[in-house]
Every structure is written in structure tokens, then in C-alpha cells.
Chains A and B, each alone.
Chain A
Amino acid sequence: MDVRLINPFVMSVKRVFETMVHVKMTVGKPYIKPENGNSADVSGIIGFSGDLAGCVVISFSHDVACKAASQFAGIEIDEKHPDFADAIGELANMVAGNAKKEFTDVNIRISLPSVIIGNSFTVSGSKSAPRIVIPCQCELGELFVEVAMEPSGSSETNSTQANQAVGV
């Protein structure tokens, strides 16, 4: 596990949630996602391309996602609210964008966010890059930041990894 790839996301998720959701985030020890591990109800996904390719996925339970979206937007938001997916996508966008600035010597572009809302699903991606899970805990509950990144060209699949992650 390359900490140089993971630390920017650890710092970023703390910064974004403390500034925009007004909660203090405690980050646990990152681990490699096991096969069929960590199911989620709501995920915000951002793809990376450029010198490094891959994606970051922020996954929540229904309850934590609604609480996070509400505190972020400053209004009560449930999953039926028209701004629910927008709020989750924007949180993912800020986590990805903020982490990106720590990669100073490489050129990376980030995609627009995709949001999946369902019940106990798993987001899968390329088999070539291990998916690192950063478990995060705050007063709203638990959420997971999953990062899969690798240098472009190291895999024939990596340029399409973000697309695979969102099933397109």
C-alpha cells in the first residue's frame, strides 16, 4: 500500500467534512478492500485520468448519507429530496479535488461526480489496482473512502477504471 497515494485522501476527507459538514472526522487504519467487502447504500464516485488513473468512491449508509447531505446543505435532506444526489456528488468532488492538489508532480484530471443510490451494493473496479479503504468515523456515523489509483499505462484497463466503477 503506497501511503503517498492514500495520505492526500486522508487529509482531504478530514478537511472537507470539517469545513463543509461541520463534523470532526477520525480516520482508521486503511486496508485493502476484500472481495465483496464493504457494501454501501449511497456512493459518490469521481474518476481520475492523466498521469494517474483510477477513482475515489465515498460510501455511506442511507442514514449517514442523509445526515451528511443535510448538514452540508444546511437544510433537511432525505433521499427523495432533489438535491440529495447533488450534495453527495459535491462532497465526493471536493474530497477528490482537494486530494488532487497534493499530487504536485503529476498531471491529474478529475471527472464530474456520479452518485449511486441503492441498497447494500458493492462498487467494483479494475482488478489491476488494489482498492484501499479508508474507514472514517464522525458524529454522524461511519463512512468509507475507497481509493484505487495507479500510473497510467501500467494496465490496459486503468484508463477506463472510472467508467467500470460506475458501470458504463
Chain B
Amino acid sequence: MKVLLVDDSRTIRNIQKTVLAQIGHTDILEAGDGIEALKVLETQTPDLMLVDWNMPNMDGITLIRKVRETNKKTPIIMCTTEAQKERVIEAIKAGVNNYVVKPFNVESLAEKIDQTMSKLQPSG
């Protein structure tokens, strides 16, 4: 599974990479803001995106709206400090599949990734 991490903090991306490696995912793409992410998406097709909200140049909610204009399928998890109910609703309306509030521990992030991916599996 190829995962695109979009966060302006390299420390957070490294922590996310560690969590993903622990659950067996090592094929990772990275972007530091929404503009960089759109550039990556021109040539790559990730199976999952983890997206921060507050970033320079283009924030996460704008990125998600742009992605969803043409791509309804790729699962997106918003991973952000924005925890107010209105923000979560705004993100869901924009097209996120799941929501992780920072600070997160390894277990909670891994669980949200599992939850998100298992919902996509075709039911037998």
C-alpha cells in the first residue's frame, strides 16, 4: 500500500512513517503542503492519504476539496490539531474518510488507518 503523508512538520511525518512501518506499510510519499501534494499526485497514485489541516501555501481542507473534484475514491484521513466539532463536520463535507486529532498515540493512528482501509474492502 502506497501512502502519501501531507504535513508541514517533518517530525510528524517521521512519526507517521514509524507507525505505518509498524503496521507493515513502508511505501511512503511525502509532501510539506497542499501544493506539493498536488504535484506528487500528478505522477503518483497513493492508496491512502494522511493530511494535516494547517499548512503554509495551501492548507489541508483546500487540498482535499481539490482532490475530491476529480478523485472520490482515494481514502483520506485528516490528521490535525483542529478538533472542534464544526471543523470535523467541515472536513467530512469536504470528503475525508476519517479524522485523527493530534496528539495521537501509535495505537490510535494505527487503528484509524485499519478502520479506514477495512471499510474499503469489498464485503464477501
Chain B contact residues: over half helix, strand or loop, or mixed? loop
The residues of B that contact A19 with a CB separation of less than 8 Å are: 103-105
Identify 4 new A-B residue pairs, CB closer than 8 A, beyond the known A20-B102, A112-B8, A112-B56.
A83-B14, A87-B9, A93-B9, A98-B101
In the complex, A112 Cα to B9 Cα: how many Å?
A: 11
In the complex, A80 Cα to B39 Cα: how many Å?
A: 30
The residues of B that contact A74 with a CB separation of less than 8 Å are: 14-15, 18
Q: Kindly provide the distance from the CB of A55 to the nearest chain B CB, expressed in whole angstroms.
A: 15
Q: Identify the closest chain B residue to A18 (Cβ).
A: B103
Among A72, A96, A98, A100, point to the contact of B11 (Cβ < 8 A).
Answer: A72
Would you call B102 and A94 a contact (CB within 8 A)?
yes
Q: Please tell me the size bucket of the interface on A.
A: 20 to 34
Contact indicator per residue, chain B 73-115, by CB within 8 Å of chain A (1) or not (0) = 0000000111111000000000000000111110000000000
Ordered by A's residue number, 22 sampled pairs between the chains whose C-beta atoms are within 8 Å are A15-B103, A19-B103, A19-B105, A69-B11, A74-B14, A75-B14, A87-B9, A89-B9, A93-B54, A93-B102, A94-B81, A94-B102, A94-B103, A96-B81, A97-B82, A97-B83, A98-B81, A98-B101, A101-B84, A104-B84, A104-B85, A110-B54
Would you call A86 and B84 a contact (CB within 8 A)?
no
Question: Interface residues, chain B, CB within 8 Å of chain A?
Answer: 8-12, 14-15, 18, 54-56, 80-85, 101-105
Among B10, B18, B83, B101, point to the contact of A86 (Cβ < 8 A).
Answer: B10
Contact indicator per residue, chain A 62-92, by CB within 8 Å of chain B (1) or not (0) = 0000000100111100000011001101100
Q: Identify the closest chain B residue to A15 (Cβ).
A: B103
The residues of B that contact A97 with a CB separation of less than 8 Å are: 54, 80-83, 102
Would you call A90 and B18 a contact (CB within 8 A)?
no
Chain A contact residues: over half helix, strand or loop, or mixed? helix
Check if A58 is an interface residue, CB within 8 A of chain B. Answer: no
Among B10, B14, B56, B84, point to the contact of A100 (Cβ < 8 A).
Answer: B84
Would you call A83 and B11 a contact (CB within 8 A)?
yes
Q: Kindly provide the distance from the CB of A17 to the nearest chain B CB, expressed in whole angstroms.
A: 9
Q: Kindly provide the distance from the CB of A140 to the nearest chain B CB, expressed in whole angstroms.
A: 16
The residues of A that contact B81 with a CB separation of less than 8 Å are: 93-94, 96-98, 100, 110
Q: Identify the closest chain B residue to A17 (Cβ).
A: B103
A:89-125 near B, CB below 8 Å: 89-90, 93-94, 96-98, 100-101, 104, 110, 112
Q: Identify the closest chain A residue to B55 (Cβ).
A: A112
Check if A16 is an interface residue, CB within 8 A of chain B. Answer: yes
